[in-house]
Amino acid sequence: MTGYGRGEAVLHDRTITVEVRAVNNRYLDCAVKIPRLYVFAEEAIKAQVQSQVGRGKVDVFVTIDATAADKVAVTLNRPVADGYYAALTQMRETYDLAEPVSLSLLSRFPDVFLVEKEQGDADVIAGDILQVLSQALTDFNAMRAREGAKLADDVRAKAGTIASLVTQVEQRSPETVAAYREKLRQRMEEVLENTQIDESRILTEAALFADKVAVDEETVRLRSHLAQLEEMLQAEGPIGRKLDFLIQEFNREANTIGSKCSDVALSRVVVDLKGEIEKIREQVQNIE
């Protein structure tokens, strides 16, 4: 399911912004974009996403403005300073110069001082990032819940169409047996002409045909699957993979009905039935 969430907070003098975006995907695929200075928090971010998101291609974008939290340490680079001092002293003696080697002169040379940015506590920073991520995921999941409700309504509508088509199959199936019996009678009359027709033979052949094309078991299972579908849509938590499996069962029953039917009108109903099942299958790919 697609979704977007954003969180922002100022924690320990750092402005942390986290954005979570997702598009449909059969499995969970999480990628984290974070400044290199804070990559130590990447695995913890992925773990938190995994605990709240079941499937989807999820991108997490983390930006951190640590200007206010920056602390700079300035230290003397003693080996470099000693080198400059020795070289200047040698120059003064070589050229018989009276001017002393002053502090102001020595401090002007590059790399005499080391300027380093102090690193903060990694655990504290990671905890702050996860706190803001939690805000973003709350927003993200709220959006996905709204989308999920719309998807559920759409699936229910298609399930209603399937139920109607199953009813048509149940009504049409006995008619095909009656039509077969009548067609069989006509053929026997044409072949035998004036000879008396054996009614028991017609009944036997019709019974065999009826057993061959009976779809009662399949329609009963389809109605059971429809009931299961509604239960899943009402359930809490991820249901996408369960729905995947259930739709496979829908297809199996529809294919069996299609293989049994020999009636043109019933074949058209089965085609429509398969079409609606396929529409649900496509939607299920978007459901977590």
How far apart CA 50 and CA 179 sit, in angstroms, is: 58
User: What CATH number labels 3-68+121-140?
Assistant: 3.30.230.40
Alpha carbon distance 45, 30 (integer Å): 9
The number of C-alpha atoms within 13 Å of 286 and in the hemisphere containing its C-beta is 19
Of the given ranges (4-13, 15-24, 77-86, 257-266), which has the lowest mean pLDDT?
257-266
Q: Element (H or E) spanning 190, and its range?
A: helix 122-192
CA distance 76 to 106: 11
- Phi, psi (deg, nearest 5) at residue 50: -60, -30
Task: Round to whole Å and give the CA distance between 286 and 288.
Answer: 7
Confidence of residue 102 (pLDDT cuts 50, 70, 90): confident
Domains of the chain by residue range = 3-68+121-140, 72-117, 144-284
Point out the least confidently predicted range of 51-65, 155-169, 228-242. 228-242
pLDDT at 127: 93
Rounded to whole angstroms, the Cα distance separating 130 from 134 reads 6
Q: Look at 68 and 29; give whichever has higher pLDDT.
A: 29
* Whether the predicted pLDDT of 12 surpasses 70: yes
242, 246, 247, 250 alpha-carbon torsion, rounded to 10°: 180
In the predicted model, what is the mean pLDDT of the chain?
A: 83
Residue 107 φ/ψ, nearest 5 degrees: -75, -10
pLDDT at 205 over 80: no
Whole-model pTM over 0.75: no
- Asked if 129 and 11 touch (Cβ cutoff 8 Å), the reply is no
Predicted confidence band at 285 (pLDDT cuts at 50, 70, 90)? confident
pLDDT band at 74 (very low <50, low <70, confident <90, very high): confident
> Residue 156, class by beta-carbon neighbours within 10 Å (0-12 exposed, 13-18 middle, 19+ buried)?
middle
Q: CB of 209 within 8 A of CB of 251?
A: no
Question: pLDDT, tens digit, for every residue of 33-52?
Answer: 999 888 999 999 999 999 98
Residue 120 has pLDDT above 80, yes or no: no
Residue 267 pLDDT: 82
How much of the chain exceeds pLDDT 90, in percent? 34
Query: Is the pLDDT confidence value at 213 over 60?
Result: no
* Confidence band of 84 (pLDDT split at 50, 70, 90): very high
What pairing do the DSSP bridges indicate for beta strands 3-11 and 14-23? Answer: antiparallel
* Among the listed residues 113, 103, 126, 120, the one whose alpha carbon sits nearest the alpha carbon of residue 46: 126
Instruction: Tell me the pLDDT tens digit for each residue of 167-202.
Output: 888 877 766 656 555 665 566 555 555 556 566 665
Contacts of 157 (CB under 8 A, 6+ apart): none
- Binned at pLDDT 50, 70 and 90, residue 227 comes out as very high
Average pLDDT over residues 144-163: 89
CB 205 within 8 A of CB 184: yes
What value does the mean pLDDT take over residues 130-148? 92
Lookup result for tokens 């809490």:
236
Confidence of residue 122 (pLDDT cuts 50, 70, 90): confident
At residue 128's C-alpha, the angle toward residues 124 and 134, to 5°, is: 140
Q: What's the confidence (pLDDT) of residue 226?
A: 93
Residues near 125 by beta carbon (within 8 Å), at least 6 away in sequence: 12, 14, 38, 41
- Summarize the confidence of residues 155-164 as an average pLDDT: 92
- Taking the CB of residue 41, how many other CB atoms lie within 10 A of it? 21
| Residue 234: both structure tokens together | 């009402």
Reported confidence tier of residue 238, pLDDT bands at 50, 70, 90 = confident
For residue 241, give every residue at least 6 positions away whose Cβ sits within 8 Å of its Cβ, in sequence order, or none. 55
